[in-house]
């Protein structure tokens, strides 16, 4: 049996009716639009790279924009921000289209009305552009302190957030929050790193930097709406940035109290506090005086480490006739420094018993035993230590002691001969002499070193590096010790050692 | 009527061509097997079909396609051409070998749940299905031992045209350059009912086209 004309006509009418009823452009005549806001407002908005207007700006969707629209916000003096927002197709309309054999899609597929943005507003906070010519500062950051007593932290959608909520995870684990602070400092003039005070490595980093930062979070106010498990709104964080001196860890150099409001858009609720703290850290850098204050604190710390100026009498150095006698004579000015835990080397820089050595030789001892080449031993008092540069000064009683002459390390040529005298490995090997050449000048972690292939072994530390003229050009300090590595030793230049102990010789 | 039908088919072809302009991916599919419930008395699974099709995937979750299907293996009946069918009229009793054939052209659209052209989908189909039965006379017994064919002809046939319309569910898996599709469809054959022979006295034994139709199949496609 063939279909009747009436049947086909009815079919066509039904299809036409459904076709027109299902068109997205008829069902959904409003275009998808989103409001682009910035703090501060008046920023230029670029959509997919093309400038379109100033914030607050209402962006209407046009299909040519593609499904992912890049919104860039720029303002003079501020760092640009870029966010991507997705335009989604109306699944319900497409489903209806498919059920109607896809025929309405011919119209809907080209219609802007089929698409809408997932959000009604895009809110971005802009941060001031940071000057690039500022001197870099090393900043150890101690774990963040949570000074929020308790109570409500705000809301995410209809949920109330407090310290026990999973969104406040970072506040329970200070290391996580500290990582947010460090992220906030990234790309700036601050070289921030997390440290644990009370550990050897942490204390060393703090010592070197001269100060450290302990962030304190005093309050958090979250006000966001939630859509598709993502939060949009604002996070306000009250921070107290406490800069402590490295010399006395409980002393406070200065504090910065700050409240930062950060606009969030499409952020996971679990990252709200992270993002808020990161934004607060970023905002701290906008303080124009911070760099200057930290550099001043570093200078003060450096000065404190050097101690007060010490004027020493210019010594009468050991005399010798020609190079043949030189080393045999100079060993008299080199001593073995015995501590509770071992021994090292040192050398006399005055005739009245001032001895230069490494800080790591004397460690934390105030009194050491100094054994001379001539066979006698005297008690030595550690009078100055600069751990930053690993140099120390010991004073022993006595007069007319054999002192070495201070040379000019700046005039040392590459390849020039260098001698080391010291007590390697065992005290029985006292005043051993080794020879090498000047291999180069190095900067390691901000400290100057003379590189040499002269043999430096445990016990040699603190001994003199002597040039071809019999004058001290450096303090043997360390060597690189690894399988397959030989002949890479380092000494502190004598000029630096004297400078860092603030020693002057009378004219 | 035929002109009207062709106009309908032409409209579908035009729509398909228009959609192809904005298609984001295309593919050609081979279908085997495909089973269709076409006749009331014959199981869908006794007629094994093959097919070929063309697919368009839009940038969105909608896909379109056309396909041609036809049964190639008929497991119905025990005669050399399929089933044997008996008729009686004016005292004559005739036995025919029956050979059923059909082809279907479908236009279909799918909505993919996952929005990326793979995974589960639901959609609809509309098409045209042509069915034909060819009867070859096997044996006639006349009244009072009359040895002639009586009213029965040596060759008899009936044809029909129906429009299947319905929904299709499936799952499509995609790999680089190729895809496969397992589907089930359910619909109604517009214009179905009893077929007619040229000799109308045979009609009461003619095959019946079912109203509700269902089908399932597997397709393997290569895309570009």
pLDDT reported for residue B17: 43
Q: How confident is the model at residue B4 (pLDDT cuts 50, 70, 90)?
A: low
b/e per residue A476-499 (b: at least 16 CB within 10 A): bbbbeeeeeeeebbbbbbbbbbbe
Residue with tokens 């034909």: B132
Residues A85-95 have a mean pLDDT of 82
Q: Which residue of A has its CA nearest to B192?
A: A1
Q: How confident is the model at residue B23 (pLDDT cuts 50, 70, 90)?
A: very low
Query: Measured between alpha carbons, how far is A36 from A69 in angstroms, rounded to an integer?
Result: 12
Query: Measured between alpha carbons, how far is A30 from A117 in angstroms, rounded to an integer?
Result: 12
pLDDT tens-digit map of A263-299: 888 888 888 998 999 999 999 998 888 998 888 888 8
Q: How far is CA A386 from each of CA A201, A300, A363, rounded to the nearest angstrom?
A: 17, 14, 11
pLDDT tens-digit map of A479-501: 776 666 677 888 999 998 998 88
Q: Is the dihedral of CA A114, B25, B54, B4 positive or negative?
A: positive
pTM above 0.80, yes or no: no
Nearest to A11 among B108, B190, B195 (CB): B190
- Residue B206 clears pLDDT 90, i.e. is over it: no
pLDDT reported for residue A172: 80
The region of weakest confidence among A34-38, A173-177, A194-198 is A173-177
Q: Is the Cβ–Cβ distance between A250 and A244 less than 8 Å?
A: yes
Greater confidence (A322 vs B54) lies with B54
Residue with tokens 């032409």: B10
pLDDT reported for residue B3: 53
pLDDT tens-digit map of B26-55: 999 999 999 999 998 888 888 899 999 999
- Residue B198 clears pLDDT 90, i.e. is over it: no
**HEC profile of A345-377:** EEEECCCCCEEEECHHHHCCCCEEEEECCCCCE
Written as six digits, the tokens of A172 are: 């329970």
Q: End-to-end CA distance of chain A: give it in Å, rounded.
A: 127
Q: Is the Cβ–Cβ distance between A195 and A139 less than 8 Å?
A: no
* Interior angle at CA A11, CA A101 and CA B126, nearest 5: 35
Spell out which chain B residues touch chain A, with contact meaning CB-CB distance below 8 angstroms: 1, 4-5, 8, 15, 18-19, 22, 58-62, 64, 107-111, 115, 122-126, 160-163, 165, 167, 190-196
pLDDT reported for residue A4: 63
pLDDT reported for residue B28: 95
- Residue A175 clears pLDDT 70, i.e. is over it: yes
pLDDT tens-digit map of B120-167: 999 999 999 999 999 988 888 888 777 788 888 889 999 999 999 999
Identify the three-state secondary structure at position A176: helix
pLDDT reported for residue B19: 44
Determine what percent of chain A is predicted with pLDDT higher than 70: 91
- Residue B77 clears pLDDT 70, i.e. is over it: no
- Residue A182 clears pLDDT 80, i.e. is over it: yes
Q: Is the Cβ–Cβ distance between A434 and A455 less than 8 Å?
A: yes
Residues A436-444 have a mean pLDDT of 86
Please report which helix (H) or strand (E) contains residue A194, including its range.
strand A190-194
Q: How confident is the model at residue A208 (pLDDT cuts 50, 70, 90)?
A: confident
Q: How far is CA A293 from each of CA A254, A287, A296, A300, B142, rounded to the nearest angstrom?
A: 9, 10, 5, 10, 122
Please list every residue in chain B whose beta carbon sits closer than 8 Å to the beta carbon of residue A91. Answer: 61, 115
Q: How many CA atoms lie within 13 A of B160 on its CB side?
A: 26
The candidate with the shortest Cα–Cα distance to B70, out of B119, B34, B38, B124, is B34
pLDDT reported for residue B16: 47
Greater confidence (A11 vs B183) lies with B183
Residues B50-75 have a mean pLDDT of 90
User: CB B61 to CB A89 under 8 A?
Assistant: yes
Residues A194, A198, A199, A205, Cα dihedral to 10°: 50
CB-count burial class (<10 Å; 0-12, 13-18, 19+) for B145: exposed
User: CB B160 to CB A7 under 8 A?
Assistant: no
Q: How confident is the model at residue A21 (pLDDT cuts 50, 70, 90)?
A: low
User: CB A98 to CB B162 under 8 A?
Assistant: no
The candidate with the shortest Cα–Cα distance to A386, out of A305, A448, A447, A308, is A305
């Amino acid at each position: 049996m063939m279909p009747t004309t009436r049947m086909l006509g009815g079919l066509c009418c039904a299809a036409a009716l459904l076709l027109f009823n299902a068109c997205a452009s008829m069902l959904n005549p409003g275009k998808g639009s989103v409001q682009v806001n910035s703090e501060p407002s008046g920023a230029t908005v670029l959509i997919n790279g093309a400038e379109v207007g100033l914030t607050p700006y209402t962006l209407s969707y046009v299909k040519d924009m593609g499904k992912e629209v890049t919104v860039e916000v720029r303002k003079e003096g501020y760092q640009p921000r870029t966010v991507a927002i997705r335009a989604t197709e109306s699944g319900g309309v497409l489903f209806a289209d498919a059920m109607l054999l896809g025929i309405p899609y011919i119209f809907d597929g080209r219609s802007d009305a089929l698409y809408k943005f997932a959000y009604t507003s895009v809110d971005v906070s802009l941060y001031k552009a940071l000057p690039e010519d500022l001197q870099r500062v090393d900043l150890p950051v101690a774990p963040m302190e949570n000074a929020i007593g308790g109570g409500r932290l705000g809301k995410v959608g209809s949920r109330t957030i407090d310290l026990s909520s999973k969104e406040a995870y970072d506040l329970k684990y200070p290391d996580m929050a500290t990582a947010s602070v460090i992220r906030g400092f990234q790309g700036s003039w601050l070289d921030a790193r997390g440290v644990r005070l009370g550990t050897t490595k942490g204390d060393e980093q703090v010592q070197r930097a001269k100060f450290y930062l302990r962030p304190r979070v005093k309050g958090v106010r979250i006000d966001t709406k939630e859509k598709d498990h993502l939060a949009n709104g604002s996070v306000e964080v009250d921070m107290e940035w406490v800069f402590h001196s490295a010399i006395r860890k409980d002393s406070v150099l200065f504090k910065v109290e700050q409240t930062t409001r950060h606009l969030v858009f499409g952020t996971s609720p679990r990252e709200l506090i992270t993002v808020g703290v990161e934004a607060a850290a970023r905002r701290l850098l906008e303080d124009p005086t911070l760099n200057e204050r930290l550099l001043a604190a570093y200078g003060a710390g450096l000065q404190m480490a050097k101690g007060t100026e010490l004027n020493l009498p210019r010594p009468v150095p050991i005399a010798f006739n020609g190079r043949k006698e030189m080393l045999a004579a100079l060993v008299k000015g080199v001593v073995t420094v015995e501590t509770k835990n071992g021994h090292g080397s040192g050398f006399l820089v005055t005739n009245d018993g001032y001895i230069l050595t490494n800080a790591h030789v004397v460690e934390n001892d105030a009194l050491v035993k100094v054994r001379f080449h001539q066979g006698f031993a005297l008690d030595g008092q550690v009078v100055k230590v600069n751990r930053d540069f690993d140099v120390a000064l010991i004073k022993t009683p006595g007069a007319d002691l054999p002192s070495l002459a201070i040379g000019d390390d700046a005039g040392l040529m590459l390849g020039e001969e260098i001698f080391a005298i010291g007590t390697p490995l065992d005290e029985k090997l006292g005043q051993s002499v080794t020879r090498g050449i000047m291999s180069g000048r190095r900067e390691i972690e901000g400290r100057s070193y003379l590189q040499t292939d002269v043999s430096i072994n445990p016990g040699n530390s603190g001994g003199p590096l002597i040039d071809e003229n019999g004058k001290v050009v450096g303090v043997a300090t360390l060597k690189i010790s690894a399988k397959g590595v030989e002949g890479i030793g380092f000494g502190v230049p004598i000029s630096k050692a004297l400078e860092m102990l603030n020693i002057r010789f009378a004219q | 009527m035929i002109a009207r039908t062709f106009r309908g088919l032409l409209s579908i072809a035009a729509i398909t061509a228009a959609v192809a302009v904005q298609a984001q991916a295309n593919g050609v599919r081979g279908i085997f097997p495909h089973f269709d419930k076409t006749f009331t008395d014959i199981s869908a699974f006794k007629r094994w079909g093959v097919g070929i099709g063309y697919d368009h995937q839009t940038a969105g979750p909608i896909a379109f396609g056309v396909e041609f299907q036809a049964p190639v293996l008929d497991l119905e009946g025990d005669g050399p051409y399929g089933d044997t069918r008996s008729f009686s009229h004016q005292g004559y009793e005739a036995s025919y070998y029956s050979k059923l054939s059909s082809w279907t052209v479908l236009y279909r659209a799918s909505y993919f749940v996952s929005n990326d052209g793979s995974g589960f989908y639901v959609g609809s189909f509309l098409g045209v299905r042509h069915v034909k039965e060819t009867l070859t006379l096997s044996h006639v017994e006349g009244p009072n031992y009359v040895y002639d064919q009586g009213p029965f002809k040596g060759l008899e046939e009936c044809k029909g045209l129906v429009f299947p319309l319905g929904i299709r569910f499936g799952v499509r898996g995609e790999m680089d350059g190729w895809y496969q599709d397992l589907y089930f469809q359910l619909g109604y054959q517009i214009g179905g009912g009893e077929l007619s022979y040229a000799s109308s006295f045979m009609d009461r034994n003619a095959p019946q086209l079912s109203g509700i139709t269902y089908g399932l199949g597997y397709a393997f496609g290569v895309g570009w």
